[in-house]
Structure 1
């Protein structure tokens, strides 16, 4: 049999196996991070979640969603307990085990937040000397100078709300978070009157949907990216963005500081 025919048969067989795998719901995990994805009275909502769900529905893919603390999301992907992860930064290290849909879901700006009662002037990295910065456990910060700096210490928290709770209690001096996401969490927890944001952007990055590499999802990743690009050109996507533009109507959803999200 010619080599071309053998390669064609192998490709078709692999495609059939992939489709068989997709006969089960696609298991996607993420961490609650409004306005990108969060739970509202038992219903999942959010800019990235609703965009991804719309695209996957158009592709005819049934999805089983689960919200977990971020480190558990990464572990679920590593152990094969999840097929995909929503709202993840793309890095060379992650690309070794994950297949990223090439079209990003959102763009984020990481900034520093401070308590009004305990301000810390910040213009350059040296201003952070000796401070304690609240970070999200397992998160990747793309600015290398910030990520590797030894000027300050990092204090991880189980979720975003806990980070801001520690900030107003002076258990950390500053918190790094996405500008839009941080303001949504503050509005939800009722802490927006006590916290402000430094204007300087530490780094900009993009959030993606990633699927398990070498699991037969390459075609799905390509189709997802193409359909997401089409969706972004539609009025429905503009309306979705407008709905999550500001946290003015964010619901109050206070969590005890020592309680991880049960998602």
Structure 2
């Protein structure tokens, strides 16, 4: 039986017959995998929406590139946080469930040349997270020397050791990691325009038929203040 008040549509029973698998990398404070369960800004928002919809969720910590592949193959149902790109839209539905925009920052060793404008990145060895995107201006610039790593912790450490010159990372995440590691790094003046993060559904998942319900739950959270209350926990 469908829950009271939920519309019937083809695929609804198929979706409700299985737990929705949410995949993604651990990127505090956005996505956190803890013994008590998945938390962090993004997952707290999704958990609140899923609770209102009585959606059963299961979380799996997965490297970003592998998580995207699972979404493409239909082995996973949801991700929370990916930026939009044309190649990803081929296999993922970008919902209108609101997430806070993400500012992108750059970290270097002390006394490194100041990075104020994108042109200052030319000639630098830039650490990026494998499988992630940072916005079309940065991602599409063929002049930049990018070095893909599996996690930001390694990226920070390689910059400290002088093996790379600069890390590009979401600012909130970079500030938290810098505080945790206590490394001798400085945040540069350059910021890229805030990117819009998304809740996405695999085009091969039966849960894609519940897109409208998910978007309505997020809108209700914005209207009743619970969205803002969750956001405040991580500011």
TM superposition score normalised by structure 2? 0.89
For 1:128 and 1:91, locate their aligned partners in 2 and report how far apart those are by CA, in whole Å. 22
Partner of 1:87: 81
Partner of 2:190: 200
For 2:219 and 2:108, locate their aligned partners in 1 and report how far apart those are by CA, in whole Å. 36
- Match runs of 1:59-138 below 5 Å: 59-116=53-110, 118-138=111-131
**Bigger Rg, which one:** 1
The answer to whether structure 1 residue 35 and structure 2 residue 26 are counterparts is no
For 1:215 and 1:66, locate their aligned partners in 2 and report how far apart those are by CA, in whole Å. 16
For 2:109 and 2:193, locate their aligned partners in 1 and report how far apart those are by CA, in whole Å. 21
- Among 158, 162, 183, the alignment partner of 1:166 is 158
The residue matched to 1:20 in structure 2 has which SS? Answer: helix
For 1:163 and 1:42, locate their aligned partners in 2 and report how far apart those are by CA, in whole Å. 28
Q: CA RMSD in A?
A: 2.0
Deviation readout 1:205-247 (Å, 9 max, x if unpaired): 11111111153334411111121121123343333222111xx
Partner of 2:5: none
Deviation readout 1:39-83 (Å, 9 max, x if unpaired): 245532201100101101110100011111101111111222111
For 2:113 and 2:216, locate their aligned partners in 1 and report how far apart those are by CA, in whole Å. 44
- Among 2, 12, 17, the alignment partner of 2:11 is 17
For 2:113 and 2:219, locate their aligned partners in 1 and report how far apart those are by CA, in whole Å. 41
Partner of 2:233: 243
- Among 154, 169, 174, the alignment partner of 2:146 is 154
The residue matched to 2:75 in structure 1 has which SS? Answer: coil
- Among 109, 133, 137, the alignment partner of 1:140 is 133
Alignment check: 8 A CA contact 2:19 2:56 kept:
yes
Could you tell me which runs of 5 or more consecutive residues in structure 2 were left unpaired when the two chains were aligned.
1-7
Partner of 1:233: 223
Could you tell me which runs of 5 or more consecutive residues in structure 1 were left unpaired when the two chains were aligned.
1-11, 246-263
Distance 1:17 1:129, change over 3 A: closer
Alignment check: 8 A CA contact 1:103 1:229 kept:
yes
Partner of 1:210: 200
Distance 1:173 1:97, change over 3 A: same
For 1:235 and 1:167, locate their aligned partners in 2 and report how far apart those are by CA, in whole Å. 40
Deviation readout 1:9-60 (Å, 9 max, x if unpaired): xxx6xx2433223211001101111111112455322011001011011101
Partner of 2:3: none
Alignment check: 8 A CA contact 1:70 1:138 kept:
yes
The residue matched to 2:81 in structure 1 has which SS? Answer: strand
Which aligned segments of 4 or more residues in structure 1 are displaced greater than 4 angstroms?
none
Alignment check: 8 A CA contact 2:82 2:197 kept:
yes
Partner of 1:178: 170
Alignment check: 8 A CA contact 2:22 2:78 kept:
yes
Distance 1:199 1:143, change over 3 A: farther
